[in-house]
């Protein structure tokens, strides 16, 4: 028997994680203009409209997503769609862009560590009431113990069809110490642990790359939904959503944006 090569195995794992993606577990329909910074990453490789990951607009020409969403073994990003709530119905004023340059974090590995990637667009989004950027966190800004909001288009549980309408849910955040004790494993400070003690709500498989936001005097991008939800489970009780916390990557994001985009 001939065993598949390592790259083939990685491609199979990533395709399974991303193509069989899920939505927000226990979520509710998002309102128009509630998440004007959320985008749908789509591929022509899938039947239908090909949504497979989410992302967040942080400037007219820059989208942040999960590292696995741009991995060479994952589906090709053919379109980035902004200004829509429904993944199967085109909204008036929605805009479609293509990637110009993709910059994964240099420390990204799968299973996902440093699970964050930058997508510079072929042309800027034109902002209007349905499309705008979310703020980046301030230097040294921490989100815990504030709640966070996540959104996504996937299925409520593994194996179910994706949601047509963008879903949203509010989650609690947990300290690194509590998260490590709960998981009985080391949790790096670059992760933001979120969930609920009761369970039943949260991100699910394939919501990878979608924004995790928090609010102080403004809404800011606290993290991205990571791509390891298949192992973490959907809606399990406790701090089961481990998301890359954007503040730990802020210097890298700004550096790459100066190189590829001339600054925010």
- pTM for this predicted structure: 0.87
pLDDT per residue over 11-70, tens digit each?
333 433 343 333 466 678 999 899 999 999 999 876 556 888 999 999 999 999 999 999
171 backbone dihedrals φ, ψ, rounded to 5°: -125, 155
Check residue 189 and give its pLDDT.
Answer: 87
Q: Taking Cα atoms as reference points, which of 84, 79, 94, 77 lies closest to residue 35?
A: 84
Q: Taking Cα atoms as reference points, which of 43, 59, 112, 83 lies closest to residue 260?
A: 59
- Give 3-state DSSP helix, strand, coil % of the chain, rounded to 5: 15, 35, 50
All domains of the chain in start order, with CATH:
11-21+36-133+249-261 (2.40.10.10), 148-246 (2.40.10.10)
- List 103's β-bridge partners, or say none: 118
71 versus 161: the higher-pLDDT residue is 71
Check residue 113 and give its pLDDT.
Answer: 87
How many C-beta neighbours within 10 Å does residue 31 have? 10
50-54, 118-122, 220-224: the lowest-pLDDT one: 50-54
Check residue 27 and give its pLDDT.
Answer: 74
Q: State CA 54 to chain mean position distance.
A: 5
Q: How far apart are CA 199 and CA 261, in angstroms?
A: 41
pLDDT band at residue 241 using 50, 70 and 90 as cut-offs = confident
């Amino acid at each position: 028997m001939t065993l598949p090569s390592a790259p083939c195995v990685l491609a199979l794992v990533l395709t399974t994680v991303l193509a069989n993606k899920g939505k927000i577990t226990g979520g509710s329909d998002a309102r128009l203009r509630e998440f004007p910074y959320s985008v749908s990453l789509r591929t022509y490789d899938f039947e239908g409209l090909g949504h497979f990951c989410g992302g967040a607009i942080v400037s007219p020409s820059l989208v942040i997503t999960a590292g696995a969403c741009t991995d060479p073994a994952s589906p090709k990003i053919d379109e980035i769609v902004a200004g829509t709530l429904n993944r199967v119905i085109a909204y008036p004023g929605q805009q479609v862009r293509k990637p110009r340059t993709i910059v994964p974090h240099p420390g990204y590995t799968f299973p996902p560590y440093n699970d964050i990637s930058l997508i510079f667009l072929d042309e800027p989004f034109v902002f209007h009431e349905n499309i705008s950027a979310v703020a980046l966190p301030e230097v040294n800004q921490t989100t815990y113990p504030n709640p966070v909001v996540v959104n996504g288009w996937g299925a409520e549980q593994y194996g179910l069809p994706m949601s047509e309408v963008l879903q949203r849910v509010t989650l609690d955040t947990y300290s690194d110490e509590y998260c490590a004790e709960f998981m009985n494993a080391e949790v790096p400070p670059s992760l933001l642990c979120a969930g609920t003690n009761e369970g039943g709500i949260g991100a699910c498989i394939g919501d990878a790359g979608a924004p995790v936001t928090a609010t102080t005097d403004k809404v800011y991008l606290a993290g991205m939904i990571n791509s390891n939800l298949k192992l973490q489970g959907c809606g399990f009780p406790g701090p089961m959503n481990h998301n890359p916390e954007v503040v730990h990557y802020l210097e890298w994001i700004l550096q790459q944006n100066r190189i590829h985009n001339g600054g925010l």
